[in-house]
Amino acid sequence: MRVLLIEDEIAHCNEYVKCAENIPYEIDLEVSHGLAKAQELTVDGFYDVVLLDLELNESDGDGVCYLEWLKTTKLDYDRPYVVIITNNRSKTTHTIARNLGADYIFLKAKPDYSPRLVFDFAEKCHKSKPQEEPETRDIELITARVVEKIGFTHDIIGTNYIIHAVLTVIYGDKREPSMSKDIYPVLAKKFKKTDWSISRAIRTAIIRTWRITDTEILQENYTANIDYDTGIPTNRQMIFHIVSQVKREYATCD
């Protein structure tokens, strides 16, 4: 897997280089600290994955500039899968990056963030690449993408529970599973929590997302029912809306 890391923090780059040297699968890693060099390497490098920092403060440009350039540049190979790695939590900036073609966003502030986590994710995408539009053929990747589009962020645990709740429904054998009997207990066992704490964390994530996400983004990406008493979707409404969206996107890939 050929990977281009675009990052201006030398210490962070060194962490990725060290990780790539000790990882159990082969990675051909190139590093660029600036925009112009990154563009030159992209044209010549035939990369499978680009790991892109959005805020290249010590550089001659930034990650958004790179995405704009990549979107309008014709390469001699298939466009690389672009993974954002950033400290920037701005929903507006994330939306701009996605609209310019970013495929996934990792927050550096996420508790379990590490170069190994990013590489493992990139390797998973790379392995699924034989078919056209390969990243959309993986249900887990589609689920994460749908969740992100609605406005959920990975810095709160409820987002992770939502993703696993959706996958529990999709991979389950019940047509209409119960949140209290079929979903919360599965997640509680998996994460060693109580059913109540799983339910509460999901609820907190939904409420927070509804309060901080732009109304236009919510209206575009959440089209199901809401609880009219609160003006916010219930846990069940949100989970099953995402399930429906994931199934719809997955079906269009076949």
The tens digit of pLDDT for each residue in 159-205 reads: 989 999 999 999 888 778 999 999 999 999 988 899 999 999 999 99
Three state DSSP letters for 202-229: HHHHHHHHHHHCCHHHHHHHCCCCCECC
Contact 222, 233 (CB under 8 A): yes
**Mean pLDDT across the stretch 130-145?**
63
Tens of pLDDT along 84-119? 999 888 888 899 999 988 999 998 888 888 999 999
Give 250's pLDDT tier (boundaries 50, 70, 90): confident
What are the CA-CA distances from residue 232 to residues 50, 155, 166, 211, 220 (Å)?
37, 21, 18, 9, 15
pLDDT confidence bin for 73, thresholds 50/70/90: confident
**CA distances to 100, 174, 175, 243 from 171, in Å:** 32, 9, 11, 10
Q: What angle do CA 99, 104, 109 make, to 5 degrees?
A: 115
For 28-58, how does the pLDDT look when each residue is reduced to its tens digit (9 = 90+)?
Answer: 899 998 888 899 889 877 889 999 998 877 6
Res 58: pLDDT = 65
Among 58-62, 71-75, 84-88, 203-207, the range with the most confident prediction by mean pLDDT is 203-207
pTM (2 d.p.): 0.52
d(CA 32, CA 6): 5
pLDDT of 82: 93
pLDDT at 253: 61
Q: Report the distance separating Cα 239 and Cα 121, nearest Å.
A: 23
- Residue 126, pLDDT above cutoff 90: no
Structure confidence at residue 162 (pLDDT): 95
Q: Which residue has the tokens 């996605």?
A: 98
Alpha helices in the chain (DSSP H): 10-22, 35-45, 63-72, 91-99, 115-127, 139-150, 157-171, 184-191, 195-212, 215-221, 235-251
